């Protein structure tokens, strides 16, 4: 954990140095300088645009005209799906030391949640309902980049234009209506030293759930009834009556309404990839993720997608392949737990490698990602049970058994178990 903190500290110091070097020059020139800044182009381009309207020394985000956003939130199509996820969002934010927020299409915050300490910090920069976080109001930040590009975005420390935000790391993804319009952005923000790459996977997964609920609402007329004030009560669980439960760790099966879906291995691979990539795949990218360099006809590929779409009740979008029906996935739950710092929860859900029989390039990449992420969480955990639990599943992993011996108390009888596992692993 200390090495991770050291890496983040070094990254923050390097960005502060570049910010101090480039922002004054950009501010004076009002254009990108001739030299090339060693920063992401989308960051420096946003700095240039932002400096026309934003003072880098401003202390907090401005308030939207009128200031009162409760009527706008009440009428927003995002209110129902976000409210249904409020408990989960609150749990993720509170457990991992984040604050969560949802904006409208203009970048105005309509709703926030999180622990008391983090919400208080966030309110100091007006990360609160009514705060304006579009680029022209608050400069370069993850919310404004997600709104501008229509893609997930992360901004760390001094990548923010405004100096008051240099202590933050933010992860965002836009929320799209079924017709493709951006309705708003979901944001998870924390202090720079708690920055975690898996936070982005969590944001994208949550946005996918919100978007599938939006599609379900609009498809059944619930959205219109809500706007007319005729919808009573809150929604059901994340999968609802027509939702799918996908198990892809250690084995592969999909269940809907208590019945197992008859899916071939290739269709399970497609379903798994779409569950892990809520933004979806262009057809060529999904084909590459399934087949790699293998020569497969377009008709074969499309037939597999079509079969899955029918099995899900027309639950796969066409131009960009993405799920349009709620899917609960054990692999996604592991990623959410890791992003929330819940190593025990991740271990409880991690029942084995992702679709272990699959050779699809996209599945292999996600399999390795999950294995590495869970293992690293265990190696940075001071809880002996985590190392012992993982060690039982990885008998040949000497480093895990050594870590177990480091964190076990001197007279704990379980040291004999860890020592025996280590001896066996070293002999192998």
Collapsed DSSP state (helix, strand, coil) of residue 169: strand
Give the pLDDT band (50/70/90) at residue 36.
low
Question: What are the respective helix, strand and coil percentages of the chain, to the nearest 5?
Answer: 50, 15, 35
Contact assessment for residue 274 and residue 331, using Cβ atoms and an 8 Å cutoff: no
The domains found in the chain, sorted by start residue, are 2-217 (3.30.450.40), 239-375 (1.10.10.10), 382-428 (no CATH)
Provide CB contacts within 8 A for 363, sequence distance 6+: 269, 272, 273, 289, 354, 355
Count Cβ atoms within 10 A of the Cβ of residue 294 and give its class: 0-12 exposed, 13-18 middle, 19 or more buried: exposed
How far apart are the C-alpha atoms of 75 and 216, rounded to whole Å? 18
| Beta strand 327-329 pairing with 244-247 | parallel
Report residue 183: phi and psi, to 5°: -95, -20
**Closest to 331 in 3D by CA, of 277, 292, 266, 379:** 277
Provide the pLDDT for residue 30. 58
Angle at 203 between CA 198 and CA 204, to 5 degrees: 95
Whole-prediction pTM value?
0.57
How far apart are the C-alpha atoms of 201 and 277, rounded to whole Å? 8
**Closest to 26 in 3D by CA, of 59, 58, 61, 50:** 50
How far apart are the C-alpha atoms of 269 and 163, rounded to whole Å? 45
pLDDT at 346 over 50: yes
pLDDT tens-digit profile of 84-109?
889 889 888 888 899 999 999 999 99
């939702």: which residue's tokens? 243
pLDDT tens-digit profile of 302-312?
999 999 999 99
DSSP annotation of 102 = E
**Closest to 183 in 3D by CA, of 81, 53, 261, 77:** 77
């964190």: which residue's tokens? 407
Give the pLDDT band (50/70/90) at residue 202.
confident
pLDDT tens-digit profile of 115-152?
999 999 999 999 999 999 999 999 999 999 999 988 88
How far apart are the C-alpha atoms of 325 and 334, rounded to whole Å? 20
Provide the pLDDT for residue 271. 97
276: tokens are: 């892990």
Provide the pLDDT for residue 37. 53
Enumerate the β-bridge partners of residue 99. 114, 189
Provide the pLDDT for residue 418. 94
Provide mean pLDDT across the span 192-215: 84
| Beta strand 182-191 pairing with 99-103 | antiparallel
Provide mean pLDDT across the span 356-376: 92
């Amino acid at each position: 954990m200390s090495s991770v903190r050291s890496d983040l500290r070094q990254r923050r110091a390097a960005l502060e140095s570049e910010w101090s070097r480039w922002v004054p020059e950009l501010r004076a020139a009002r254009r990108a300088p001739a030299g090339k800044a060693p920063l992401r182009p989308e960051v420096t381009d946003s700095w240039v645009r932002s400096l026309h309207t934003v003072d880098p020394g401003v202390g907090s985000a401005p308030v939207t005209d009128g200031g009162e956003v409760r009527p706008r939130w009440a009428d927003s199509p995002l209110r129902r799906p976000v409210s249904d996820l409020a408990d989960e969002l609150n749990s993720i934010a509170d457990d991992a030391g984040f604050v969560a927020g949802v904006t409208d299409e203009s970048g105005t915050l309509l709703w926030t949640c999180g622990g008391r300490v983090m919400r208080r910090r966030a309110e100091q920069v007006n990360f609160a309902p009514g705060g304006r976080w579009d680029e022209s109001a608050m400069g370069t930040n993850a919310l404004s980049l997600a709104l501008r590009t229509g893609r997930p975005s992360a901004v760390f420390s001094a990548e923010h234009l405004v100096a008051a935000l240099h202590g933050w790391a933010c992860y965002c993804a836009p929320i799209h209506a079924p017709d493709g319009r951006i309705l708003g952005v979901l944001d998870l923000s924390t202090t720079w030293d708690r920055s975690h790459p898996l936070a982005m996977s969590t944001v994208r997964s949550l946005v996918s759930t919100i978007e599938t609920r939006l599609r379900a609402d609009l498809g059944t007329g619930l959205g219109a009834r809500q706007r007319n004030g005729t919808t009573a009560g809150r929604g059901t669980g994340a999968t609802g009556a027509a939702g799918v439960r996908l198990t892809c760790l250690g084995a592969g099966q999909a269940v809907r309404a208590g019945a197992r879906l008859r899916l071939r291995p290739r269709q399970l691979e497609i379903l798994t990839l779409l569950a892990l990539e809520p933004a979806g795949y262009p057809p060529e990218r999904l084909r590459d993720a399934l087949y790699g360099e293998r020569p497969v006809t377009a008709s074969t590929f499309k037939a597999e997608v079509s079969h899955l779409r029918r099995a899900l009740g027309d639950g796969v979008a066409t131009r960009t392949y993405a799920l349009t029906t709620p899917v609960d996935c054990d692999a996604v739950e592991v990623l959410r737990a890791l992003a929330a710092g819940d190593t025990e929860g991740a271990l409880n859900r991690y029942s084995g490698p992702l679709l272990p029989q699959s050779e699809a390039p996209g599945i292999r990449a996600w399999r390795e990602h999950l294995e590495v992420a869970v293992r690293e969480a265990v190696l940075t955990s001071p809880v002996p049970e985590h190392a012992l639990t993982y060690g039982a599943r990885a008998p040949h992993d000497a480093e895990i058994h050594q870590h177990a011996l480091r964190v076990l108390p001197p007279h704990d009888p379980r040291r004999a178990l860890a020592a025996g596992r280590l001896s066996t692993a070293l002999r192998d």
